[in-house]
Amino acid sequence: MPSDPTIPPIHTIRRQRVMLDSDLARLYEVATKAFNQAITRNIKRFPTDFAFQLTREDVANLKSQFVTSSLDPTEPVFGTHGGVRKLPWAFTEHGATMAATILRSERAVAMSVYLVRAFVRMREELHTHAVILKRLALIDRKLLEHDVVLREVVEKLRPLLAPPKKDGPKRKIVFHEGNG
């Protein structure tokens, strides 16, 4: 769980990284009931890859991850806060952004703008990384080409670097006086 209480925890449910409705409602500074009512009124904006309602099994798996969770799927009443509690909703990254766009609180509007800017910046950084990776691939290709050329040069120089063959008698170098 994050150390900052204003950042909602991200859970993995059904192999997706999600945030729960109550956590998003707290982030957007609205009641969970009002949050879920807004979602229900705009349900067409939330396909299953944006949001889904948890099953009792999902809740049980989630509760097993967090001993302090107030969700209790074994009882007809979920939680200890009184009243029948509906199964929570889970929102993917896109669902959380969509939820911010349908809420009317000032905080939700601010978070919506923040999320959009964060995604724009993330895409810009990914583009920058792609440019850098492309440049590194070009440099790597050039290095490989240079490596081939250097190997050819070394192969041509090898005979010149080898010690002379000892075929027959060595010729002596003689200096004569008066030649000059």
Least confident of 1-5, 142-146, 166-170: 1-5
pLDDT tens profile 37-69: 999 999 999 999 999 999 998 888 887 766 544
**Mean pLDDT, range 129-139, rounded to an integer:** 91
Write a three-state SS string for 88-108.
CEEECHHHHHHHHHHCCCHHH
Q: Among candidates 46, 54, 40, which has minimal Cα distance to 90?
A: 54
**Residue 8: how many CA atoms within 13 Å on its side-chain side?**
21
Q: Which residue has the higher pLDDT, 72 or 60?
A: 60
pLDDT at residue 11 tops 90: no
Q: Are 2 and 11 in contact (CB under 8 A)?
A: no
Number of residues assigned to the chain: 180
Taking only the tens place, the pLDDT of each residue in 81-108 is: 544 468 999 998 889 888 888 887 788 7
